[in-house]
Every structure is written in C-alpha cells, then in structure tokens.
Amino acid sequence: MKQNFLLLLTISILAIDECVAQNGNEKITQGPEKGSLLIAGGGKLGQDIWDKFIELAGGSSATIIIIPTAVGDDATSREVGENTARQLRKMGVAAASVLHTSDKNEANNEKFIEPLLQATGIWFTGGRHWRLTDAYLNTKTHKEIQHVLDRGGVVGGTSAGATIQGSFMVRGDTKNNFIMIGDHIEGMGFMKNVTIDQHVMKRNRQFDLTPVIEKYPEMLGIGIDESTAIIVTKDRFEVIGESYVAVHDAKAWKLEIKKEGKIIHPFFYLSKGQQYDLPNRVLIIKSATTNTKE
C-alpha cells in the first residue's frame, strides 16, 4: 500500500502542472459565496478540528444546531444528536441543540425551522446520507441552512455529513454504501460541481472515486480520510487534521498507471496546511511573502 501511495503521489504531482483553469462555458467548482464549510472524513476527530468548527461558528457565543438524521431511527438519532450537543457545550459553546425529523413535510414547517433562524453553525453527524436528502433536500430547512452560510456562519459535518455537502452524492444508494452511483445522487450543494467521499484511506477507498469522475469528468472528486477535514471558503479549501485528502481531477489525467491489469487514473494527496484552488483546479503554493499558484 505504501508503494502504491508513493507512486500515485509522484505521478500526480507531475500531473498538477497539466491542470488548466476552467473556461466560462464549463461548470465552476467552488464553495459557498459567504461563510465556511468544515467537511470531515469520519472517525475520531481531533480537538483541532472541533476547535476550528467552533471558531468559525463564533467561538464561545456560537449557536450550533446538530442534525443527526443520517443515523437512522428517531430515538437513536436524537441520542447521537444530544451526545454531540453535550460535547460541544463542554467545549465552551454557548448554545448547542438538536434538530431532527424524517418527515419532509415537517422540514417544510415554519415552526420546525425556527431554531435555524439564529444559528451560527450547523453540524451533520454520520450515518447514511440519503436519509438527509429524503428529509431535507429542497425544503425550507435546506433553505435556512443555506442562510446560515449567507450570514457568515459555518456548515460542518463528518462522514455522511461530509458527503451531503457536495452537489453530487456518492454512496447514496439505499441498498448499501458500496454502490458509488446509486438511487440518491443529489446533495445539498454547498460545494458546487463536487462529490465528496469519506473514510478514504482507513477503508481502502482510494480508487473508488475514479469511475465516478470517469463518468462525470467535469466534476471534482474529493476523498477525505478519517481524523481529517477540509475548510472550504468560496474558491479554496485547506486541509486540517491527521491524515490526507485525495483530489480526483480528470483535467489532470495526462498520465495513467496500471494496477492489477487495469488502467488507473492518478489522483494526488494533500496534507495538513496545504490549500487547493477550486475553480482553477490547482494546488496553492504559499511563500513567505505572497501566495502563488502552481
């Protein structure tokens, strides 16, 4: 595995130079116009990730809403949500509460969405992300979550709560989470022209986004490992946490490698502190005096 990792990393760094900016006729890849996203790859999240989420939500004065609907049945979802709320309050957050329904009609109810009107941060827990779209996609709840971003707040989530934030959902099939393009593919679209996978290296999913990007070559694929996250602000993201983020970009597929007799298109990894320009599909190189793009 280590040899494969190094080979892919070497090939893909060479391929970065071949990336070109998207022209005006193509879909633009970017994050929210205002506010921030914190998108985590699952597993145990370090205190640095939680601290960043709380900071983006307003620090000790933050008002955070936890949405645990991806978990499953109502009782378990609420239990997971309350545990997360208690965890955030112990970290110094002023107000953390749970919002949950599996009923799309309720998600369109004015009374239900009231807690979102003052929220500065939203957190989606893990589970199965199709449950989130069944409950909230294109509802008043979805609209108010977008308004949290419009006010300069943060939307965060882990595992299923990561994938839901892209415009295209992988692993959204109701039968199992091994089907990459399933019966639920529309995400909440806080990131545009992007699909997000999670638990990538921990579960040996490094190559799973390849067929998705082959089918939709204009789309960017982002695979986030456990204990790792990206912070997205409009046209860029930065990696935080312990492991790596894989970027799958068809525009960089100038080279190919063979694995077990099959052609594999390369991807490249980013690690903690590295930044990526979303619309232009390039790694951002930071210098002591200014930021330049490779």
Express each pLDDT in 140-171 by its tens digit: 999 999 999 999 999 999 999 999 999 999 99
| pLDDT at site 266 | 76
For the 2-12+28-293 domain, the top CATH level (class) is: alpha beta
- What letter would DSSP give residue 111? H
List of residues 6+ apart from 75 with CB closer than 8 A? none
Residue among 76, 9, 88, 81 nearest 51 (CA): 88
* pLDDT value of residue 294: 44
Tokens encoding 106: 């309720």
* pLDDT of 180: 98
User: Looking at residue 256, what is its pLDDT?
Assistant: 60
How far apart CA 294 and CA 292 sit, in angstroms, is 7
Segments of the chain with pLDDT less than 70: 1-26, 254-264, 287-294
Q: Which two tokens stand for residue 60?
A: 């000790």
Half-sphere exposure of residue 145: CA atoms within 13 angstroms, side-chain side: 27
CB 221 within 8 A of CB 253: no
Q: What does the alpha-carbon distance between residue 34 and residue 66 come to, in Å, rounded to a whole number? A: 20
Number of alpha carbons in the 13 Å side-chain half-sphere of residue 73: 2
Report residue 11 CA to chain centroid gap.
25
The closest alpha carbon to 107, from 99, 117, 97, belongs to 99
**β-bridge mates for residue 264, sequence order:** 257
How many other C-beta atoms can be found within 10 angstroms of the C-beta atom of residue 261?
5
CA distance 196 to 210: 12
Q: What is the pTM of this model?
A: 0.87
Instruction: Report the alpha-carbon distance of residue 255 to residue 249 in Å, rounded.
Output: 12
